[in-house]
Amino acid sequence: MKILIIIFFLGFCGCSSGELAYKGYKDGECSTSFGYFRCQIEKLVIPYDGFRVFQGRGRAYGPGEFRDVADHEVVCRLRSGSVIEAEDNINAGHERNIAFNAEDCLEAPNTSDVSGHIWVADFSLSAPREDDALMPTGSGWVATSLTNAPLRTSASKALWAQGKLFRWGGNRRYLSWQDDVIDKVVFDPSTNSWESIAQEQQPAWKDQDIVWTGAEVIVWGNSTVGGRYDMEQDTWSPISEIEAPKNDATQNALWTGHKMFLWDVVSNGGSFYDPAADVWSRISATDAPKLKQASVTLLDEKVLIWGVEDTLFADSQEKTAGAVYDLNADTWQTIATENSPSLRENFTMVSTGSSAIIWGGTHDNEVYHDGRIYNEATGIWKTISNLNAPSPRAKHSAVWTGAKMMIWGGYTIDNDSGKFIALGDGGLYDPVTDTWEPIAANSYSPHPRFEHSAVWTGEKMIIWGGTTSLDRGNGLEYRSLNTGGIYTPE
């Protein structure tokens, strides 16, 4: 039995050779209206179980934000691989009469006389995610739930703690404006669900750094009082300000195993915070590096700092520099720059435990896809192969799986406009074999983005939020996202 329905598409649709994929759009067959895209559809192949058909039509406030979905009744949840086809074209091309087989529904349709639509939210065709049984399993990508998800957010801080992704703050971009985002929530990948955290005594968000101690999340930085969050008790407590360093937005923090290490690029000084005693202390400044941009990572019992040297005069030639801080001896040692990475910003640096891998980045509108490995024991920089490496990119994410570095997303630069083009792919790098392999895409892969959050759970990588680039015909524009993906390597 075939049933005619009306499908109303909002968001990005993927039209390719007459078949709807999961993102993108077919040139000449999509129009822009009220800030979102509408596409003419010839055929839609359902990518996974549970894609819903709603009765009735709805309206939207804006991209992916709907106001009367609750008034619509689900009449069918389609099976993976089922096909619906356009019968004719109505209402200026963005609605069509659609025919599909009732046998393709997971359960029998609850009515034989339906007029409905499938909602497409936030850049991808989206099925319900509140029913965990409908989520695919095995390797590859799974989309994160939109139910109770945070606001669209770029550049939020994130970490993995007690089986959940903890995210903090960020900013929201839409076209030419942006503002701060103050919602703080955690994501549980085992249930694919979001939940809010306690508000009482919660510090104001000001782009602080966050670290996980194994028992608490510590928040500190950017001209505001910090805080400590107990995830198990869902409670906040204050941090002592006695002997605390100046709160500045240019600080870098990491957890050493016993204390929080904090490096201030403005003052080129460092501090320790001991949460057990709620006490601050300063670290030695003798031979400490002077950097105006820096990244930090932990190498066994030492901290590596690497970045752009803070030159004495504004017109001096910029150059890279770095140093290693010994946590036990409270001493600094400058590291060699021979064969070190070229001058760059917005790169990633991950620790393997004994070595640091720096990859990608940009400088003077040039984007890189090369990298180096620094071996702390030998003090030698080694060049990384770029055979089969991801394309040049900056503001991407990088996580260490315990055996490989996983790169995803980022941006490249449009040669004509100089604007950023978001990327939606990545790669896995094995430092033992010095080889790359691609991260396979599927129908659940996150939309291209940069400035996103990424964490490694021990088994999976979670991507969330970030900024995507939109081409509306009059140049590239940017928009924050509230979507993400969970990737399980093979």
Domain count along the chain: 2
**Same domain assignment for residues 183 and 67:** no
**Same domain assignment for residues 20 and 50:** yes
Q: According to the model, what pLDDT value does residue 183 have?
A: 62
**Same domain assignment for residues 117 and 192:** no
**Same domain assignment for residues 74 and 181:** no
**Same domain assignment for residues 66 and 158:** no
CA 127 to chain centre: 21
Q: For residues 446 and 216, give the distance between their C-alpha atoms in angstroms, rounded to a whole number.
A: 30
**Same domain assignment for residues 26 and 104:** yes
Q: For residues 106 and 103, give the distance between their C-alpha atoms in angstroms, rounded to a whole number.
A: 8
* Residue where a domain stops, chosen among 82, 105, 128: 128
**Same domain assignment for residues 55 and 159:** no
Return the HEC string of the chain. Answer: CEEEEEEECCCCCCEECCEECCCCCCCCCEEEECCEEEECCCEEECCCCCEEEEECCCCEEECCEECCHHHCCEEEEECCCCEEEEEEEEHHHCEEEEEEEHHHECCCCCCCCCCEECCEECCEECCCCCCHHHCCCCCEEEECCCCCCCCCEECCEEEEECCEEEEECCEEEEECEEEECCCCEEEECCCCEEEECCCCCCCCCCCCEEEECCCCEEEECCCCCCEEEECCCCEEEECCCCCCCCCCCCEEEEECCCCEEEEECCCCEEEEEECCCCEEEECCCCCCCCEEEEEEEEECCEEEEEEEECCCCCCCCCCEEEEEEECCCCEEEECCCCCCCCCCECCEEEECCCEEEEECCEECCEECCCEEEEECCCCEEEECCCCCCCCCCECCEEEECCCCEEEECCEEECCCCCCEEECCCEEEEECCCCEEEECCCCCCCCCCCECCEEEECCCCEEEECCEEEEECCCCEEEEEECCEEEEECC
On whether residue 135 sits in a domain, the answer given is no
The CATH number that applies at residue 235 is 2.120.10.80
On whether residue 134 sits in a domain, the answer given is no
Q: Kind and range of the H or E element at 435? A: strand 435-438
* Residue where a domain stops, chosen among 76, 96, 128: 128
The two tokens of residue 220 are: 């500190």
203: left (phi over 0), alpha (psi -120 to 50) or beta: beta
**Same domain assignment for residues 218 and 198:** yes
pTM for the model stands at 0.75
pLDDT along the chain (490 residues), means of 10: 39 31 30 35 57 47 32 58 53 44 64 41 31 50 80 89 91 60 77 87 77 94 78 93 74 92 84 95 93 91 91 70 96 95 95 97 95 96 97 98 97 90 95 94 80 96 90 74 88
Q: For residues 395 and 466, give the distance between their C-alpha atoms in angstroms, rounded to a whole number.
A: 10
**Same domain assignment for residues 297 and 414:** yes
**Same domain assignment for residues 120 and 153:** no
DSSP3 helix / strand / coil % (the chain, rounded to 5): 0, 45, 50
The two tokens of residue 274 are: 């001991």
Q: According to the model, what pLDDT value does residue 207 have?
A: 67
The answer to whether the CB of 27 falls within 8 A of the CB of 42 is no
Q: According to the model, what pLDDT value does residue 441 have?
A: 75
* Residue where a domain stops, chosen among 104, 128, 152: 128
Q: According to the model, what pLDDT value does residue 476 have?
A: 78
On whether residue 182 sits in a domain, the answer given is yes
On whether residue 133 sits in a domain, the answer given is no
Q: For residues 484 and 205, give the distance between their C-alpha atoms in angstroms, rounded to a whole number.
A: 22
On whether residue 385 sits in a domain, the answer given is yes
On whether residue 51 sits in a domain, the answer given is yes
Q: According to the model, what pLDDT value does residue 316 have?
A: 63
Q: According to the model, what pLDDT value does residue 391 have?
A: 96
Q: According to the model, what pLDDT value does residue 24 have?
A: 27
Q: According to the model, what pLDDT value does residue 200 have?
A: 85
**Same domain assignment for residues 297 and 360:** yes
Segments forming the whole domain that contains residue 96: 2-128
Q: For residues 3 and 345, give the distance between their C-alpha atoms in angstroms, rounded to a whole number.
A: 55
On whether residue 10 sits in a domain, the answer given is yes
Q: According to the model, what pLDDT value does residue 230 have?
A: 95
The label of the residue with tokens 């000449």 reads: 28
**Same domain assignment for residues 36 and 81:** yes
Cα–Cα distances (Å) from 89 to 98, 149, 172, in that order, read: 9, 34, 36
On whether residue 380 sits in a domain, the answer given is yes
